[in-house]
Amino acid sequence: MRDGSLLAQDLAAGQLSPGPKGEKGETGERGPQGQAGPGAAKLVLDRPATSDNFAPETFAVVGPWDFVSRCGLIGGDIEFRLNVGGEDEGEFQLAGVKTDNDSTVTQRATGGAVPPADQGGTQVMSAGVGAGSFTRFADTIQIKSGAAVWTVTLNVLADNRGPSPRCFGYGTGVPAS
């Protein structure tokens, strides 16, 4: 072999030490903005429970579905209802827990049809809460109508402790398709 006749491919990997690091190149042009995804929907429920406040109220729209609450005082007890309905019929599956005063915990798993909102939808939560008590829900609901599928997590508290009874909760709806 003659001096200078070896090539890099004649040597095994790792036999040559790397050369010095080069200078950083210029930053390229920014690419175009991508299309926005369907995104998540925020659910926020906050209603005082009063004797004249049992009328239904839409508190969130998730995809094609309306989330409607009722929260009122009847004889000193909170009556709470949460219904889901859409423009068209659909179906739902729900898994979660319901607890009264954090002492009695009931696991919940249910499902069924979701009638259109103009027919009242379907009730997914309900509670009667006596004075000095509360009921808490922590649910995951999957709702489907045609090609639209959403997963909704919702934590709700119907609170009849203290001078200002109320129903409030937070959640997120995320498209599954």
Q: Is residue 84 part of a domain?
A: yes
Q: Is residue 129 part of a domain?
A: yes
Residue 56 and residue 64 in contact, taking contact as beta carbons nearer than 8 Å: no
The pLDDT score that the predictor gives to residue 18 is: 77
The pLDDT score that the predictor gives to residue 31 is: 83
pLDDT tens, 16-60?
Answer: 677 788 888 888 888 887 665 668 889 999 999 988 778 899 999
pLDDT tens, 70-115?
Answer: 999 998 999 999 999 988 889 999 999 999 998 889 999 999 999 8
Q: Is residue 30 part of a domain?
A: no
Give this prediction's pTM: 0.75
Residue 103 and residue 79 in contact, taking contact as beta carbons nearer than 8 Å: no
Q: What are phi and psi of 105, to 5 degrees?
A: -110, 125
Q: Which residues neighbour 61 within 8 Å (Cβ) at sequence distance 6 or greater?
A: 41, 67
Q: Is residue 17 part of a domain?
A: no
pLDDT tens, 140-168?
Answer: 999 998 888 999 999 999 999 989 999 99
Q: Is residue 9 part of a domain?
A: no
CA–CA dist 57, 51 (Å, integer): 15
The pLDDT score that the predictor gives to residue 161 is: 95
Range of the domain at 163: 39-175
The pLDDT score that the predictor gives to residue 8 is: 67
The pLDDT score that the predictor gives to residue 10 is: 72
pLDDT tens, 113-139?
Answer: 998 888 888 999 999 999 999 999 999
Secondary structure (H, E, C), 99-165: EECCCEEEEEEEEEEECEHHHCCEEEEEEEECCCCEEEEEEEEEEEECCEEEEEEEEEEEECCCCCC
Q: How many domains, in total, are found in the chain?
A: 1
